[in-house]
Structure 1
């Protein structure tokens, strides 16, 4: 791999340096926010001029590679002393969001592995004992994803300067290398791979810790693990050579520890990867806190004191105590022309002369039972005393019926036979009282009503007892409230 490849890659940044972004400017105009935006105050059309942060950088660094998983290693494990090579990298870094970026990186270096440094003399029995030395010169180009974990997981902040960040890297690329092996007979080329071939693909992943020196410069310590996918990278020779059969792995891998510098490009104050979204929230809160907004409501007052300002009140002379809708108009639930405040039969229409109640009604004959069509009973869900919406028409008819009669009535609550006698007794009382309260609330005089609970002692279908299994429709019919004329 030639160094000119890195120079060409660096040249790609030239037309993009001007497209950078700033962290504090607030953009607002007559067109934004709109229905297609997030509603934020910092919303503008997406153009190069509207970018608010620097998002490009050039990074370079140097370090030490150590063969770790191979037939010939750099780390001492019974095969001699530790051997240190050298490495260098340069990359073009593009931040996509405050927590994710993409880096195009060029690496060049040399690993050293085996029983001795190839610059030293080999033992006289190196080939016989396989105590050989090796070195590998490599060039690589890779595309790396960059995750800023510190920005990704930030949740709280104490307004302190944000100077440290943990990054994770992973990516793939192409690697070219020349591996040399040395024994007592001398040094020879053991393997060579050209770039951009199928066998030259490799992967690397790792992590780094960045420190923000200033708005232009970051320094970073990084540890990467490089997986070559090649059993000949370490200089052990061809696939079936004796040295390459010492270990079972088919990929010679190595660690690469580096120390580097990032130069952030652009004209703005902040780089996107160092942008703290919480700080932007603090800024917006400060702007709102310092902005004097005097909001005057009800400029014309509320003359009738109905809670609706005269600016939009459609009925300025609402009687005191009347309930009104959002436009300030007194409510007339049954639409009979008598507002609820004066209507004696709120849910049943009637003429004004009779205070909103009907003038005629059928006269009840004899006792009133569940089967009386004029004054029907209602049913309840299991273990519930809630009046179902489907039963309100029946109860509204009962309001009309009771108000038009001269007698009084007992509201009787009942249950099915499930649960204990004591529980069912209390449940039936709650059912009866709920119906009584509903009738009184809708216009029935409280003196006309009495509520009693009979629990499971008043079954519509007596054959439904704990010893027999009844169909559900019979159990539901037993869970009821009905009316008895006194």
Structure 2
């Protein structure tokens, strides 16, 4: 009896739709913060708020070997060592960092018995060994993908990792055509169409993935396929002489493959390669540093600006000046005159004119001017909302200036030189794109990445454990006049 094709397809896709990360939403209830009784940084979970890629396409090929059958691909009394071929392609969806679902299509041919059916029949004279068979098969299955490496990762592992052990198991529908060759000739013994009740099969196994790049994984798998069918090997009807050799009710085979996974999406990393402990350790380090600062802060706040001297980057802030989290007096228009003394807070002007433009000349330009204060989160090239006032003022300043500027991207000293160079280039390009999008003349700007070569705090070399505020200050974008 055949099942309706649409019904089976719906049954295979439905679990993915139910558990898909895109369709889930987080609660929007407010959580308390330091500054208010509610939180403004809790937002609905949408496609735009996703931090990781969670889709991939995998494909590969390999060798199937009949292991449990009346005719086998292994030299064990029911056959010789014969190698077939197989190929697969799958659409993979990560549900969490440790579990996903794969919709997979397999195609291949097993070869079993005592000789390859494409070769001549052996002249041994032993009728028992004059039987060969091959089976061409197509299969569609839904596999659960368990990432054991993420699930069982050691709690003291603080290093980036490139290897992951995966386990797979699932069921599907199997269609095949089994041929048998004897001295009487080669005949089609059994044909099973897809989506029939007797075409149900299961497979399970393990795979080892290697992260070649953020877009490509290399994987080798060993799967064990349970056909649930005693005629898959080409032995014929259950009552035939060949099918009476073994008492098993299922012809099963191993399938060893090598393949690639192409990770899809715009984000830097894939959910299946995300280690939650990495973020936990980083947050614990930051919290530990803050706890230490809180104790040291008992020594005082010399300039009384509300920022403890231990992380105050401007210890002589004038009384009454507004400061940022690092204790630096705010200069909204970046003209060198802090807001406390600036008569034109949002329009840049010379110091001698109290921060206002000189009448009739527009905004005074300074070719040596360095626009500071554009910082980034760890391992991120996203322009923060706290940077937008500075960047909007920078766009106006650049347009009013007669000078061209280089947008310079920098990083802290963590990670490798090549990774930091790439990250600094992305930061510089993102800032340049933001400025151009908000009215800055693109012809006056170019983007340059310097990685960790031009640190604001050069004492923070890889061998030195710097406080987090110095690392954050090194993760910046600044401007240089040409």
Task: Classify the TM-score, shorter chain.
Answer: 0.5 to 0.7
Indicate whether 1:98 and 2:97 are aligned: yes
Contact kept? 1:20, 1:268, Cα under 8 Å: no
Q: TM-score normalised to the size of structure 2?
A: 0.52
Q: Shift of residue 214 of structure 1?
A: 1.1
Partner of 1:202: 201
- Which deviates the most, 283-292 or 66-75? 283-292
Are residues 123 and 268 of structure 1, via their aligned partners in 2, closer, same or farther at CA, if it must alter by over 3 Å?
same
2: CA distance, partners of 1:113 / 1:237:
13
Q: State the shift of 1:55 in Å.
A: 0.5
Aligned position for 2:356: none
Structure 2: stretches of 5+ with no match in the other structure? 1-5, 301-482
- What is aligned with 1:215? 214
Other-structure match for 1:263: 262
Contact 2:79 2:112 survives alignment (8 Å): no
Match of 2:50 in 1: 51
Equivalent residues in 2 for 1:426-441 (5 A)?
A: none
Cα pair distance change 1:257/1:42, threshold 3 Å: farther
**Corresponding residue of 1:164:** 163
* Pair 156,42 (structure 1): closer, same or farther in 2 beyond 3 Å: farther
Matching residue of 1:273? 272
The structure with more radius of gyration: 1
Q: Secondary structure at the match of 1:49?
A: coil
List gaps (5 residues or longer) in structure 1: 22-26, 300-486
Q: 1:128 to 1:283 in 2, by over 3 A?
A: same
Q: Deviations over 1:319-362 (max 9, x none)?
A: xxxxxxxxxxxxxxxxxxxxxxxxxxxxxxxxxxxxxxxxxxxx
Q: 1:294 to 1:129 in 2, by over 3 A?
A: closer
1:125 positional shift: 7.3
Shift of 1:78: 3.3
Q: Label 1:157 to 1:263 Cα distance change in 2 as closer, same or farther (>3 A).
A: farther
Q: CA contact under 8 A between 1:20 and 1:56: conserved in structure 2?
A: no
CA offsets, 1:289-309, max 9 Å, x none?
566976999x9xxxxxxxxxx
CA-CA distance at 1:30 after TM superposition: 11
CA distance in 2 between counterparts of 1:255 and 1:64 reads 8
Q: Return the offset for 1:77.
A: 1.4
CA distance in 1 between counterparts of 2:39 and 2:276 reads 13
Name the structure 2 match of 1:153: 152
> C-alpha distance in 1, partners of 2:192/2:94?
33
In structure 1, how many angstroms separate the alpha carbons of the residues matched to 2:243 and 2:294? 82
Using a 3 Å threshold, how does the CA distance of structure 1 residues 97 and 30 change in structure 2: closer, same or farther?
A: closer
CA RMSD in angstroms comes to 3.4
After TM superposition, the structure 1 = structure 2 runs for residues 58-69 of structure 1, keeping only pairs within 5 Å, are 58-69=57-68
3-state SS, counterpart of residue 155 of structure 2: coil
Compute the displacement of 1:124 (Å).
5.5
Inter-partner Cα distance in structure 2 for 1:126 and 1:178: 28
Determine helix, strand or coil for the equivalent of 2:48.
helix
2:190 corresponds in structure 1 to: 191
The answer to whether the Cα contact below 8 Å between 1:176 and 1:195 also exists between their aligned partners in 2 is yes
**Rounded Cα–Cα distance in structure 2 between residues aligned with 1:122 and 1:165:** 45
Q: Taking structure 1 as reference, are residues 103 and 30 closer, same or farther at Cα in structure 2, changes over 3 Å only?
A: closer
Counterpart for residue 395 of structure 2: none
Q: How does 1:447-462 map to 2 (within 5 A)?
A: none
For residues 459-478 of structure 1, the aligned pairs below 5 Å read none
**Aligned equivalent of 1:78:** 77
Query: What whole-Å deviation, never above 9, does each CA across 1:241-293 have from its counterpart, x for those lacking one?
Result: 10011100010000000011101111111111111011011222344456697
Equivalent residue, structure 2, for 1:304: none
Matches for 1:326-337 after TM superposition, within 5 Å: none
Q: Indicate how the Cα distance of structure 1 residues 80 and 174 shifts in structure 2: closer, same or farther if over 3 A, else same.
A: closer
- Does the CA-based 8 Å contact 2:180-2:235 persist in structure 1? yes
Deviations 1:176-213 (A, max 9, x none): 00000001122110100000000000000000111111
Residue 283 of structure 2 is matched in structure 1 by 284
- Shift in CA distance, 143/127, structure 1 to aligned 2, threshold 3 Å: farther
Whether the aligned pair in 1 keeps the contact of 2:30 and 2:42 (CA below 8 Å) is no
Report the alpha carbon displacement of residue 45 of structure 1 after superposing the two structures with TM: 2.1
Structure-2 separation of matches of 1:173 and 1:55: 23
1:90 and 1:63, CA in 2 relative to 1: closer, same or farther beyond 3 A?
same
Secondary structure of the 2:45 match is: coil
In the TM superposition, structure 1's runs of 4+ consecutive aligned residues that sit over 4 Å from their partners are: 29-34, 39-43, 124-127, 289-297
**Structure 1 residues 233 and 52: alpha-carbon distance in aligned structure 2, compared to 1, 3 A threshold:** same
Q: Figure out how many residues of one structure are paired with residues of the other and give that number.
A: 275
